Structures are given as structure tokens and as C-alpha cells.
Structure 1
Amino acid sequence: MQREPLIDGHGRRISDLRISVTDRCNFRCQYCMPAEGLKWLERDGILRFEEIERLAALLAQMGIRTVRLTGGEPLVRKDFPALAALLTRIEKLDEVSVTTNGFLLERDAQALVQAGIARFNVSVDSLQRDRFFAQTRRDALPRVLRGLAHLATFPEAHPIKVNAVAIRGFTEHELLPFARFAREHPYEVRFIEYMPLDGDRSWDMTQVLTGAEIFDAINKHFPLEPAERAPHATARTHRFADGIGKIGLINPVSEPFCGDCDRIRLTADGRLRTCLFSLNETDLRTPLRTGATDDDLEQLIRDAIWRKELKHRVNEPGFIQPQRTMSAIGG
């Protein structure tokens, strides 16, 4: 069945969906959650596989074309490859991808590729073991790199993107090692400006290492040139001038890309969020479990998307950080 496309109140057509499959994570990254972790959702509070499949299929009928599965850490969800296989079979979806911290990739890469996952983003904030531990509070870098290398053996998984959150006072020391890494391996290394979604609620603008600063630092040593940018892409991608490797810059704080945002999010407990920084959510889990028809759900979704925020306002006076942290929203 084909339904009318999703259009927000600012005329933007919505085609990208992020689905958080769990709020749990086996890391405790400093930019995401406190060292002691957070209070996890109860098992019954998390959407079941069939509920996720139903919502994804309905949204595909309404024009969603790409889905990214996130967490928390999605690979800690029991039987996660089975969910991936359900979603890749949905008619009208062009792509289902996964964002992961890589800790369980050695175990799950083959199953996920066989399930039809065609793109992967792997979070790696440092290539130095002690600094990786300082950021994630887990001594896991060797295992993550083994998982990344294992994933790279599957041709269907490419291109593989390696994401690092850019934090002033930390990431400056990682730029050239990551640039060399991008030149020596078949990955696109991407730096994401630090955003106010941390569990400790200690973010401020002085901690943001901007994409422009990152570009300048790398370009001095390894000249860069722009690569083609797809419509609605969040990253500004650059090739090394000699053609060996790529660097991506995602600058939501210093250069917001809200104007052509085509994205919505579904949290692990079934709340629809129309912006990463939304202060309001739409409950879809309760209607799902109390007999709502697809037409009922469609109307709820359309009403929420019509109210989608024009921009996130991070740089503006009066900005309010959402109560949910990144791990509870879905990256």
C-alpha cells in the first residue's frame, strides 16, 4: 500500500528514520552517559520486534526510504540480526544500516551482512588504548579494531564509516592518527561535533572542536579536496588530494544543517521524536498495544511531523537541553 508522503510544517519531505532498539550500552562514553550508567528501561517497556517491524513498514508506506538502527548499543539487543532481517525485507525501504560501538562486531558482522545490512557506522573516539579507555571507560580498543577489521572482510558492508566525537582538549591529539588511519584502511573517518546530549549535563560551547578547525589541522599535513555530497547528507566529505582515503565532517553545532532535515527518530520505548533536541515526543507504543489501526497510527505520526521543529536552536539564547541523553534517544 502506498500512502501520501510525510511533509512537515516547513515543507520538508521526511524520508529517513532512526530506530533505537535498546537504551542499554556496554560502554560509558563521557559525552553520552554517567560512569555509573543510567536507569534502563524495563523489558516490557521496549518495543518488540513485531512492533518495530509494523511501524517501519507503515512509515515506509509514507515515504521513509532509509532506516538506521541504533541504541544504546544495538548489538546488545538479543537476536538483533533477526530484527535486522525483518526490516531489510520491508518493501519500499532502500537501505537499512547500523550504528555500533563495534564491541560485538566480531560476533555479529557476518549475521548482519547476511541479514541485508549494507552500511555500518562504527564509533571509535581514539586509536590509542589508554585514551580510548579514558573516553569510553572501557578497555576495549583492541576488540573494537578486530571487529572493524572483520567487518571489512565483507565486500557488501562497504563503505564503512568510523565516527569520532570531536571534543576540545581531547580530539586535537587524535586528528593526525585518524587521518593516517583513513589513508591506510578502507574506511571513511568522520568527526562529529560534540553536542549537548551528555548524561552529566556539563556540555558547553567551549568544548566543541569545530569541523573547520579539524579540516584546517588535517589539511596542513594531508591536503584535502571536497567530495560529492548527497542530498540531505549530514557530513561534508573530503578526499585526500592524492586519492587515498576520505574524511567526513559533521558540524551540527557550528554549521547546522536543519534547513533540509529529512529525519525522524523512534526511541526504544516507542516515542516518536522529530528532532534530536525535541522537548516533546509522541507516544506510539501505547496505541500500538491498545488496538490502534494503521490509519490511527498514521494520523498520530502526521500530526507530530507537521509540528517538526524548524531548527535545534543549540546556538541560541534560551536553548534547553532535552531530558533524554544520546543513549536514550538513539544516535
Structure 2
Amino acid sequence: MKPKAIIDNHGRPVNYLRLAVTDRCNLRCFYCMPEEGIHYLPKKELLTYEEMLRLCQILASLGINKVRITGGEPFVRKDLLYFLKNLRKIKGIDKISLTTNGVLTYDYIPDLVELGISMVNLSLDTLDAENFLRITRRNEFEKVMQTFYALVESGISTKINTVVMDGKNTEDLIPLAQLTEKHPVSVRFIEEMPFNGEGNHYATLKWSHHKILDTLRQAYPNLQKLPVPAHSTATLYQVPGFQGNIGIIAAFSRTFCGTCNRIRITAQGLLKTCLYDEGVLDLKQVMRSGANDQRLEETLIHAFRHRAKDGFEAEKQRQSNHPVKESMSTIGG
């Protein structure tokens, strides 16, 4: 009898998959990828939708009940709705959500509602159009804001993902937090990570989760801490009387590893049991070598039961002995 949930070697359940459907993106955010010299994978090197659905079917049988679709930018890949409709049919997957930059999303919002997409995370690092251009290297601010308002109007649970970058958008923290006054959204401030495709990062992180919280408290002295949902990466707060809430994610400090329930599969089929590992299993190679479902199950279970304790251990175990330098677009957000 198959287990209802996988428990890893540190006693953590594994029930949440973040699946990248493409490594391509229509923005060039400097903290995610270099402006030029990006080597996109040829189509044959990406998982097909059929391969992704097969993996999701197997993972659902092992206890995965939540899937988040990421990229790159998911809507850059052709026929994404076809994939989402078939993913929705898989028994055991209760929640499907997605992360998007919002540039192409607006026209698909009615379809997302019809499909019962439970949540959309919208990447948005500033509310200033000129600063948006500087950060993303693309002039698409108005399209993203159109998507934001349409998502709120649609009733889809909406989260704003903001990467906090010293000297780039720290002046935007309070304007973004202010969105939660009149909109039932969650604005989540994320520590900057080294996944920019170049390996550049600070010796120390100036804008840690502590400094982000201090900055918010200066603007909102009555900021209240909210109960933390199980396995949440964010510490949640709310200004009394505001409709939405504010989250802080210690992605670089890695304070939430002890309750991590998520795995990642990249667009090229690498299984990552930690964001900071370099891929622990090439699922594409396993599938294309002719492995049956039972063999895939066994291989996945083995990987889940040999997870790193936390992001620091995963980083130390990287066999390349090189610091983290891959682009977030190749990992899956």
C-alpha cells in the first residue's frame, strides 16, 4: 500500500511541488538573470507536458497534493492552459497555483478562474514605472498593474512577491505594504538570493528579514504578528484595519528550513529537494531511458529520504564546489 505522504529523513512531510514549465522569461530582472548571454535550453531538452503530467500523477500517488507552476515565465510556454486543464484532472492534487510576472497574464485570468486556480503569486518589486524599467530592463509596468487589479477583481487569492534589494527598491517597501490597506492581498518581502546567473552576492546581506521588519515597524508601529500557517516560508504581519497582510521571507537567511515541505522540478527535469542544491536527480534522463512508473517511484522516494537538513547543508554538498550562481529562471521560482 502506497504511503499517504512522504516523510523525509528529517521528519518533514513532502507534499508540495514547484514545477517549472519553462526556463524562458520576457523580463530580465537583474537579480534573477543577466541582461545578455542567456543560453536557453533547446525544446528537446525540456520536459514535455506529457512527461510533466506523468511525474505529477506519480507524485500525487505519493502524497503531493499541491502544485505551483513556475518558470521562467509560465505564460511564455505555448499551450499552458492545455497543461493546466490536464493537471487539474489528476486525482489527489487539491491545489494548483502559479507564479507569474503578469506581463502576459491578464487575458488568461477568466480561464484561471474557470480552472479553479487557488492562488497567483505576482512578481512586483516596485510601484514606480521608471524603477520597474531599471529592475526588469523592460517597459512593461502598466501591463503588470493591469494584471494586479484584474486578479484582485477576479477573486483569485493574490500574493505580491517583492525581492528587497539594497539601493534598488528599498524605498518601495512602504508603498507596496500600503497595497494591503484597501486590497485583500498578501505583500511578501523576500531577502535577495544569489540566483542571478552570475554568482554575485554580498559578503553580508544588508537587507535581512530583521531590517525589513524594522523598516515596516517604523512606518506601522502597531504592526501585529499573525499566526504562521504550517510549513509557511513567510512570517506574517498585519496593520490593524487593513484588508490584506504583509509577509517576510528569510530566503537567504534560511530560517524556515526545519519545516520545509516542498520540492522543485526544473524545466529540464532536475529534481531539487532544496532550493540551494544543484539538482539531486535527473528525472528526464530516468524517464527517457525507459523507466516504468514503479522505478520512478522508487527513485523519487530514495531522493526524498536523503534530503539536506537545510539550505546551508545543501549548498555545502554541491558537487561542483562552486558557489551558487545559476539563474532563478532555470531553477523555477
User: Once the 2 structures are TM-superposed, how far is the Cα of residue 241 of structure 1 from its aligned partner?
Assistant: 2.1
Counterpart-to-counterpart distance in 2, 1:63 and 1:259: 19
Q: Of 211, 215, 218, which residue of structure 1 is paired with 2:216? A: 218
Match of 2:77 in 1: 77
Match of 2:310 in 1: 311
**Residues 166 and 320 (structure 1), Cα distance of their counterparts in 2 relative to 1, 3 Å cut:** farther
Deviation per CA, 1:224-257: give whole Å up to 9, x if none: 1011211001011111123443111001223521
Contact 2:183 2:243 in 1 (8 A): no
Match of 2:201 in 1: 203
Counterpart-to-counterpart distance in 2, 1:294 and 1:321: 35
Deviation per CA, 1:150-207: give whole Å up to 9, x if none: 122212x12x000100112223211111122221323211101001111122112445
Q: 1:64-143, aligned counterparts within 5 Å?
A: 64-143=64-143
- Structure 1: which amino acid aligns with 2:332? G
Contact 1:84 1:116 in 2 (8 A): no
Deviation per CA, 1:300-320: give whole Å up to 9, x if none: 111111221111118999985
Match of 1:246 in 2: 245
Counterpart-to-counterpart distance in 1, 2:166 and 2:179: 20
- Structure 1: which amino acid aligns with 2:207? L
Contact 1:169 1:207 in 2 (8 A): no
Match of 2:22 in 1: 22
User: Once the 2 structures are TM-superposed, how far is the Cα of residue 281 of structure 1 from its aligned partner?
Assistant: 2.5
Contact 1:33 1:198 in 2 (8 A): yes
Contact 1:188 1:245 in 2 (8 A): yes
For the pair 1:60 / 2:60, whether they are aligned, the reply is yes
Tell me which moved more, 39-48 or 208-217. Answer: 208-217
- Structure 2: which amino acid aligns with 1:170? K
Secondary structure at the residue paired with 1:153? helix
Deviation per CA, 1:311-330: give whole Å up to 9, x if none: 11189999853353211010
User: Once the 2 structures are TM-superposed, how far is the Cα of residue 147 of structure 1 from its aligned partner?
Assistant: 1.1
Aligned length: 329
Tell me which moved more, 320-329 or 170-179. Answer: 320-329
Counterpart-to-counterpart distance in 1, 2:314 and 2:61: 35
Counterpart-to-counterpart distance in 2, 1:4 and 1:187: 32
Secondary structure at the residue paired with 2:312? coil
User: Once the 2 structures are TM-superposed, how far is the Cα of residue 24 of structure 1 from its aligned partner?
Assistant: 0.2
Counterpart-to-counterpart distance in 1, 2:58 and 2:149: 36
User: Once the 2 structures are TM-superposed, how far is the Cα of residue 290 of structure 1 from its aligned partner?
Assistant: 3.1
Identity %: 38
Q: 1:111-190, aligned counterparts within 5 Å?
A: 111-155=111-155, 157-158=156-157, 160-190=158-188
Secondary structure at the residue paired with 1:127? coil
Counterpart-to-counterpart distance in 1, 2:314 and 2:264: 22
Contact 1:167 1:207 in 2 (8 A): no
Deviation per CA, 1:276-306: give whole Å up to 9, x if none: 1103431111222232111100111111112
Secondary structure at the residue paired with 2:54? helix
Q: 1:3-14, aligned counterparts within 5 Å?
A: 3=3, 5-14=5-14
CA RMSD across the alignment: 2.0
Tell me which moved more, 108-117 or 188-197. Answer: 108-117
Counterpart-to-counterpart distance in 2, 1:20 and 1:119: 16
Counterpart-to-counterpart distance in 1, 2:126 and 2:256: 26
Deviation per CA, 1:59-108: give whole Å up to 9, x if none: 01111111110000011110111211111221111201000001011122
Tell me which moved more, 290-299 or 251-260. Answer: 251-260
Counterpart-to-counterpart distance in 2, 1:37 and 1:152: 36
Unaligned segments of structure 2, at least 5 residues: none
**Residues 263 and 176 (structure 1), Cα distance of their counterparts in 2 relative to 1, 3 Å cut:** same
Contact 1:271 1:284 in 2 (8 A): yes
Counterpart-to-counterpart distance in 2, 1:229 and 1:169: 30
Tell me which moved more, 203-212 or 120-129. Answer: 203-212
- Structure 2: which amino acid aligns with 1:291? G
- Structure 2: which amino acid aligns with 1:59? L
- Structure 2: which amino acid aligns with 1:311? D
Unaligned segments of structure 1, at least 5 residues: none
Deviation per CA, 1:33-57: give whole Å up to 9, x if none: 0001511111111111111111011
